[in-house]
Amino acid sequence: MRRYFIIVLSAFITFSVTAQTSKPIDKKATRETKRLYKNLKSLSRDHILFGHQHATEYGHGWSGDEDRSDVKSVTGSHPAVIGVDVMGFTAPEEIAIKIREGLKKTVEDTYNRGGVTTVAWHFSNPVSRGGFNWRDSISLPAVKYIIPGGEAHEKYKSILNNLGDWAKSLSGKDGKSVPVIFRPYHEFDGGWFWWGKPHCTREEFISLWQFTVSYLRDSLGVHNFLYAFSPDNKYINEQQYLERYPGDEWVDMVGMDNYGDMGRNRYALDTAALKLKVVSDYAKRTGKLAAFTETGLESIPNTTWWTETLLKVLKWYDIELSYVLVWRNDVKSPTHYYAPYPGQVSVPDFMKFYEAPYTLFESNLNGIYKRKVKFK
């Protein structure tokens, strides 16, 4: 009896700790942001939301059409998660204003339909030419310049001021502030971006992350962001995954971007699944959200990629992920697309993926910003 009591007590303590930590890092997060967090956590136990980058802004051969996405044209439903990017916010102001207004509508429309938005940031180098990619002999290692004490720190604060103003302007037709998943400085373990591992120290990167969160949340009063941490796939265990982790008090969601193991460079399904398990295990233990933040196979020439690669990887282990997001469909390129459009060769398999009980699309969701989400 005593042993049974200890086991039950231990389980209760473990559950209580997890339950206490399963909430946003922002103590002043809006009610809808808290509910999104809770419902994503709950849904991830048995389901995963499907996402597509720039899904409703443009697609294969079209741009700017109202209430359109290639995924909806194939399945009848938009993706449950829509990816957008605030890279244009640092463009010349006349252009940036239009970009901010357009993205505001996209995010608000997604919320009003009951979908979820995740925000990436391909941030153009703020102290040199070269854009967001690292270019030898052109790019400067900007991280050390924009963190506290750096000579471009005030410029960075000004950039965040614009981002913060935009975030606080997001409002649904219900009058509520629209929650989004903010995913800055992704794939930082590679060297292709100026914030990548070869271009800043571990301490500099962590300082950048912590300042960004603190300034948006505490100084600017942005309380509708969930913060997502997402390296590329250059790890195989938790210690490697957490090498540049800023701390649990600074992260809401842990994720991974992985194209290489999913068919781009090789089909290493067991490796991809193991890397996702690292992410999921950490989220389970700490009460964080977890996601497969980017993946896909360009042009999707593999006619069974959705069920025999992606779904198989997602189901390999007993993992809990809030969503999986594939990359964008370019307007003009005949080959740069990651979700099927009508007539594309993987459509029949994608329909099997869509119909699987495990996967959720926007039409499946009902009240993800309410007290308790339901699904169809």
Domain of residue 220: give its range: 2-375
Q: What is the DSSP letter of 131?
A: T
Helix (H, G, I), strand (E, B) or coil at 36: helix
Average pLDDT value over all residues in the chain: 94
pLDDT tens readout for residues 88-130: 999 999 999 999 999 999 999 999 999 999 999 999 999 999 9
C-alpha–C-alpha distance, residues 95 and 223, integer Å: 26
- pLDDT for 11 equals 40
Type of residue found at 88:
G
Number of domains in the chain: 1
CB 340 within 8 A of CB 346: yes
C-alpha–C-alpha distance, residues 27 and 20, integer Å: 12
pLDDT tens readout for residues 315-360: 999 999 999 999 999 999 999 999 999 999 999 999 999 999 999 9
Confidence tier at 20 by pLDDT (50, 70, 90): very low
C-alpha–C-alpha distance, residues 209 and 143, integer Å: 10
pLDDT tens readout for residues 355-376: 999 999 999 999 999 988 777 6
Tokens of 185: 């400085």
CATH code for the domain of 234: 3.20.20.80
∠ Cα 179 185 191 (to 5°):
160
- pLDDT for 21 equals 63
